[in-house]
Structure 1
Amino acid sequence: MVFPITEKLQDLRNEEDEKIEKEGQHEIDPSVIFIKQTIPNACGTIALLHALANSDATIAPTSPLAKFIEEIALLDPHARAEALENTKLFAEAHVDAASLGQSAVPSSDDDSDLHFVAFVQVPSAVTPSERRLVELDGRRRSPIDLGKSEDLLKDVAQVVRQKYIAHSTSHSFGLISLGPNPDFNP
């Protein structure tokens, strides 16, 4: 999801982070790959990595992406960020993609009022048969457990309406979903 990061939304997100730090949250499955954002204006890249690394999408096993995900799987979020910073392939791809846009690339995160996050459905760390909705945002302290999830699209739509759209006057929201290709037949 891409959304306008307003002062009000950021304050609400900071309050949620503080509440989680004090009170805790539902335990996140340790296999969830979460990367801290340390590269300015890389939130879209990190959201895409979060979505792909935590999905059952088929990634060519010998591809640079598959190798990167395998290399960072056992690292902590900060070490994953460092690996991303030092991966030449992603650095070059990020600069190339950012320069293809129709507007100037902001010089820092503070210059943009839009931000990307990923929502993923993962097994519960407590009850493996249960699925949980998790928000992954590299600017946050940790993954955010949003509760039990039976239908990813419906659950994300509800969260977006309640946590984001309800606290914004902007119409600058966008969502994209990774899903199965109905024409793919392995």
Structure 2
Amino acid sequence: MSDAGQWCLIESDPGVFTELIRAFNVQGTQVEEVWSLDDQTLEELKPVYGLIFLFKWQGGNDSSRLHPEADLSVDENVYFAKQVINNACATQAILSILLNCPTIDLGAELDNFKDFTRLFDPYDKGLAITNSELIRGVHNSFARSDPFFLDQTDQSSSEKEDIFHFISYVPVQGALYELDGLSNGPVNLGPCTGDNWLEKVRPVIQERMSRYTSAEIRFNLLALIKNREDVYRTRIGEIDERMRHASNTNNSSELMQLSEERDQLLQRIEMEKVKFKRYERENSLRKHNFIQFIYNIIRILAERGELQAHIEYARKEMSKRIKDRAEKKKGESGSKN
């Protein structure tokens, strides 16, 4: 795999992923965070096109090694691309779902990309993703403007930051697949029908999480789902039809119940609009260059003679964090033994 190159790290956040998808010109979808794998939570999210799972990377825990019994042959119905560059796993996880769901409106550019690369082998698919100006540009739209770079080549292994990795789960042609760009191929986890793939994926994710110590809680699960406002408006249309029938039959009790359901859906639509406005603001802040702002704060503190005190405080805090981190890792090592 090549080095990080021109690909930035992507934050595991539903607002970030939703904007990435929209920037690809994909229609009618959004990303939601999944807080629980219980039936009620998953039912409220349906239809679910696929799941994106984030976990701490440990050498040798790619999907093909964790599922040695699985069929890794590349089915022509499955779009699988190898990850050939660092930091690309977030976007590849999104694409692994988008390019394997025929019911999603990909938009002209992604649709043409899928058609052009359809017969490529997995490695060449990965190269095509890396070399796509659209995909790389959308991915890097979240690159932070930062003139300060930490060179970890001189750091000890204990001082290096943990590495996290994204993979996808998606049903394709009646089978559940785990798609990991670092794996040797798409992992077929067995047959599935309809929405029951969500039941089948639950123990798979739980088993992955069980491989870590109880102290490791840094997991994140995102769902690519149908746009909620579209779902709610479809339900409102169905309710309107039922209300007309109830009105014609003078069924006042049903009419009242349907009216309440309709009002609740309208409230949900307004909540979705508020949420997307929040996403827009948060993403704007993520992309904003705060360097000039920070520079001026430092300059003012220096002029007031207050900078040195803040520097000393920061040094003490950093020393404390390094010590706490070392003790935590020592504790984790002891629990393994």
**Is TM more than 0.5 here?**
yes
* In 2, Cα distance between equivalents of 1:165 and 1:11: 12
**Residue 133 (1) aligns with residue 176 (2):** yes
Match of 1:42 in 2: 88
Could you give the per-residue CA deviations for residues 44-93 of structure 1, whole angstroms, max 9, x where no partner exists? 0100000111113422542x222212211121111111211221122222
Which of 1 and 2 has greater Rg?
Answer: 2
Match of 2:212 among 148, 168, 171: 168
1:5 maps to which residue? 57
- Structure with more relative contact order (C-alpha pairs < 8 Å, separation 6 or more): 1
The 5-angstrom pairing of residues 73-92 of structure 1 reads: 73-92=118-137
1:16 deviation in Å? 3.9
CA contact (8 A) 1:99 1:105 kept: no
- Paired AA for residue 186 in structure 2: P
1:143, CA displacement in angstroms? 0.5
Which is worse superposed, 152-161 or 172-181? 172-181
- Partner residue of 1:97? 142
Report how far residue 133 of structure 1 moved: 0.9
What secondary structure does 1:115 align onto? strand
2:226 match: secondary structure: coil
Q: Find the residue that maps to 1:177 and give its secondary structure.
A: strand
**Which residue number in structure 2 is paired with residue 142 of structure 1?**
185
**Structure 1 SS opposite 2:232:** coil
CA contact (8 A) 2:62 2:180 kept: no
The 8 Å contact of residues 62 and 183 in structure 2, kept in 1 or not, is answered as no
Once the two structures are overlaid, the 10-residue window that deviates more, 83-92 or 135-144, is: 83-92
Change in CA separation of 1:55 and 1:44 when aligned onto 2, cut-off 3 Å: same
Deviations 1:108-154 (A, max 9, x none): xx96521000111112xxxxxxx211110111110011112241222
Give the unaligned 5+ runs of structure 2. 1-52, 153-159, 235-337
Counterpart among 216, 232, 242 of residue 183 in structure 1: 232
- Go from structure 1 to structure 2 and tell me whether the alpha carbon gap of 1:83 and 1:158 turns closer, same or farther (over 3 Å shift): same
Residues 14 and 60 from structure 1, CA distance in 2 versus in 1: closer, same or farther, beyond 3 angstroms? closer
Q: Partners in 2 of 1:158 and 1:178 — Cα distance? A: 19
Give the direction of change, closer, same or farther, for the CA distance of 1:105–1:135 in structure 2 (3 Å limit): farther
Q: Report the equivalent of 2:237.
A: none
Alignment partner of 1:154 is 2:199: yes
Equivalent AA in structure 1 for residue 57 of structure 2: I
2: CA distance, partners of 1:41 / 1:26: 24
> In 2, distance between residues paired with 1:77 and 1:39?
13
In structure 2, distance between residues paired with 1:106 and 1:38: 22
Contact 2:74 2:185 (8 Å CA) reproduced? no
TM-score of the aligned structures, taking structure 2 as reference length: 0.44
In the alignment, residue 226 of structure 2 is paired with which amino acid?
P
Rate the CA distance shift 1:184–1:3 in 2: closer, same or farther, 3 A. Answer: farther
Change (3 A) 1:6 1:144: same
Q: Distance in 1 between matches of 2:151 and 2:111?
A: 29
When you count helix as a share of all residues, which structure comes out higher? 2
Number of aligned positions between the proteins: 165
- Residue 41 of structure 1 contacts residue 106 of structure 1 at CA under 8 Å; is this kept in 2? no
Is the 1:5–1:115 contact (alpha carbons within 8 Å) kept by the matching residues of 2? yes
Whether contact under 8 Å (1:32, 1:54) holds in the other structure is yes
**Partner SS, residue 31 of structure 1:** coil
The sequence identity of aligned pairs, in percent, is 27
SS in 2 for 1:85: helix
Q: Structure 1 residues 28, 79: CA separation in 2 closer, same or farther (over 3 Å shift)?
A: closer
> Normalising to structure 1: TM-score of the pair?
0.75
